[in-house]
Amino acid sequence: STAIHWFRRDLRITDNTALAAAAAAHDQVVPVYIVSEWKAEHRWCGAPRQAFLCGCLDSLARNLEAKGGRLIIRQGRADAVLKKLVQQTEAEAIYFNRDPDPFGRAMEERLTKIARDLGIRLHPYKDIALHERNEVLTGGGSPFKVFTPYAKAWLKLDKPEPTRAISKLSTPPHIASDPLPTLHTWKLVGEAAILEPGEAAARKRLGCFLDGPIFHYQTRRDLPAEEGTSRLSQDLRHGTLSIREVYAKCARAAEKAPAAHQRNIGIFINELIWREFYLQVLWHWPQVLDHEFQEDCRRLKWRDYWRPEKKDGGQDYQRWCRGETGFPIVDAGMRQLAATGFMHNRVRMIVAMFLTKDLHVWWMHGESWFMRHLVDGEIASNNGGWQWSASTGTDAAPYFRIQNPWSQSKRFDPEGAYIKRWVPELRDVPAGQLCAPPKEGEALARDYPLPMVDHARERDVALEMFR
């Protein structure tokens, strides 16, 4: 018998729940990836992430071939493409891993109707999270809005084990496939120096992290100049690594480790829980994509920098995007993002607070800029991070706790190493000067702008706005 495996955010052959189930139950499997048809401009997509996606598909195609299979590429809307593919291959079932975002869910609903009409079976699986949907609930049976009790409940549950690797896969011959996509498919041009894509590269990153940095995670994860974090976000986003494999390897490392190492591993796992917290927030409250989670924040008067009819955004917003705000740590972050499709977590918080609390620009514009530039751009975590920084989300930063970009630099980049790496104009400026507003009218360096706002003043404006 023949089944289709629909690849989505699970671009790997190892420990892929739906793929393993399809391979175990059917003689032949048609593994398909469906390329979306938008061109050039997309509010939530851009070249860096699509370039990474192309590399992942290339690597996936080779990995499938090594098992005897063949990756089929098609373009179009998933439901229409899958319907046609079922008819062409006489497949009797479609296997896929569930996607919790509202777009993925809507597609799954359409597919349910098609499957009914065609008389085939659908096999959806949990795969992208250790716990999803309604698995982690309060004693009263409602979803958690606050992280700490969610994390406590999450930790108590048994964790799913990795599935067995597929040993071989047979794809029927003569099934037409489009070529693998390239940036040109979406009429994009990209220059960001992104990390190596694919399953093998992802596993190598995990291995390197478990070999050392994880044991110092607590002290080094907040220092953007260091390589103290796992750099696995794009792999968890695209599924080049399974979350079960990551968790199981961490748990194994913790078993034989001294207490200090165990504590560090625990803090790392806490970040994986944040990811699942935001995934379930989006599953329970998909409306967070359209407005503030906190109802009383929906009337906040963000500044009118960018209305839909004013497509280029306001000038100040543009300066933030380009990394020319005159705040060294903010500019370093925005330039790291442009150059690599990545920004360190601490700096993501700083630039997001700066956009919302210093420039008073609606967080959704920052959310969209991040989605277009981040290789790990993920709807749930990105929305969660932005609504946290804007103080409008579930368990968000309290509105009165506004980070000061100058003291954040002092605390987390005291030598200015991160700033100097990304803002070369400031290379010769003594580190101490990067941590405090320059004297009235005196630029930090010849080609570097003066701070575009006075943080202390804008802080008061933000407080007033929230009050």
- Binding residues are 217, 229-233, 268, 271-278
Q: Which residue is nearest to ligand FAD (CB)?
A: 385
Q: How far is the CB of 167 from ligand FAD (least distance, A)?
A: 29
Between 171 and 233, name the residue whose CB sits nearer to ligand FAD: 233
The answer to the question of residue 229 lying near ligand FAD (CB under 6 A) is: yes
- Could you give the string, one character per residue 353-392, with x where binding to ligand FAD holds by CB under 6 A and - elsewhere? -----------------x---x-xxx--xx-xxx--x---
Between 94 and 330, name the residue whose CB sits nearer to ligand FAD: 330
- Could you give the string, one character per residue 302-341, with x where binding to ligand FAD holds by CB under 6 A and - elsewhere? ----------------------------------------
Look-up of token digits 């620009």: 361
Between 26 and 348, name the residue whose CB sits nearer to ligand FAD: 348
Burial of 191 (0-12, 13-18, 19+ CB in 10 A): exposed
SS (H, E, C) the chain: CEEEEEECCCCCCCCCHHHHHHHHHCCEEEEEEEECCCCCCECCECHHHHHHHHHHHHHHHHHHHHCCCCCEEEECCHHHHHHHHHHHHCCCEEEEECCCCHHHHHHHHHHHHHHHHHCCEEEEECCCCCCCCCCCECCCCCECCCHHHHHHHHHHCCCCCCCCCCCCCCCCCCCCCCCCCCHHHHCCCCCCCCCCCCHHHHHHHHHHHHCCHHHHHHHHCCCCCCCCCCCCHHHHHHCCCCHHHHHHHHHHHHHCCCHHHHHHHHHHHHHHHHHHHHHHHHHHCHHHHCCCCCHHHCCCCCCCCCCCCCCCCCHHHHHHHHCCCCCHHHHHHHHHHHHHCCCCHHHHHHHHHHHHHHCCCCHHHHHHHHHHHCCCCCHHHHHHHHHHHCCCCCCCCCCCCCCCHHHHHHHHCCCCHHHHHHCHHHCCCCHHHHHCCCCCCCCCCCCCCCCCCCHHHHHHHHHHHHC
Torsion of CA 181, 44, 64, 31, to 10 degrees: -90
The answer to the question of residue 274 lying near ligand FAD (CB under 6 A) is: yes
- Rule CB under 6 A: choose which of 11, 35, 206, 232 binds ligand FAD: 232
- Rule CB under 6 A: choose which of 58, 178, 271, 425 binds ligand FAD: 271
Q: How far is the CB of 346 from ligand FAD (least distance, A)?
A: 8
- Rule CB under 6 A: choose which of 28, 50, 89, 230 binds ligand FAD: 230
Which stretch, 50-58, 151-159, 274-282, 407-415, contacts ligand FAD (CB under 6 A)?
A: 274-282
Q: How far is the CB of 270 from ligand FAD (least distance, A)?
A: 9
- Rule CB under 6 A: choose which of 2, 89, 233, 392 binds ligand FAD: 233
- Rule CB under 6 A: choose which of 57, 272, 321, 426 binds ligand FAD: 272
Burial of 448 (0-12, 13-18, 19+ CB in 10 A): middle
Look-up of token digits 């497509």: 311
Q: How far is the CB of 51 from ligand FAD (least distance, A)?
A: 16
Which stretch, 127-135, 330-338, 342-350, 409-417, contacts ligand FAD (CB under 6 A)?
A: 342-350
Q: How far is the CB of 237 from ligand FAD (least distance, A)?
A: 6
As a whole number of angstroms, the distance between CA 374 and CA 83 comes to 32
Q: How far is the CB of 461 from ligand FAD (least distance, A)?
A: 21
Q: Residues touching ligand FAD: how many (CB under 6 A)?
A: 28
Between 95 and 354, name the residue whose CB sits nearer to ligand FAD: 354
Between 27 and 211, name the residue whose CB sits nearer to ligand FAD: 211
Look-up of token digits 């989605």: 371
Between 231 and 421, name the residue whose CB sits nearer to ligand FAD: 231
- Rule CB under 6 A: choose which of 29, 91, 236, 452 binds ligand FAD: 236
The answer to the question of residue 275 lying near ligand FAD (CB under 6 A) is: yes
As a whole number of angstroms, the distance between CA 250 and CA 235 comes to 16
State which of positions 205-224 bind ligand FAD (CB under 6 A). 221
Binding site residues for FAD, as ranges?
Answer: 217, 229-233, 268, 271-278
Q: How far is the CB of 333 from ligand FAD (least distance, A)?
A: 10
The answer to the question of residue 150 lying near ligand FAD (CB under 6 A) is: no
Q: How far is the CB of 129 from ligand FAD (least distance, A)?
A: 11
CA nearest to 353, candidates 249, 437, 430, 463: 463
Between 94 and 352, name the residue whose CB sits nearer to ligand FAD: 352
Residue numbers at the binding site for ligand FAD (CB under 6 A): 221, 229-233, 236-237, 271-272, 274-275, 278, 345, 348-349, 352, 370, 374, 376-378, 381-382, 384-386, 389
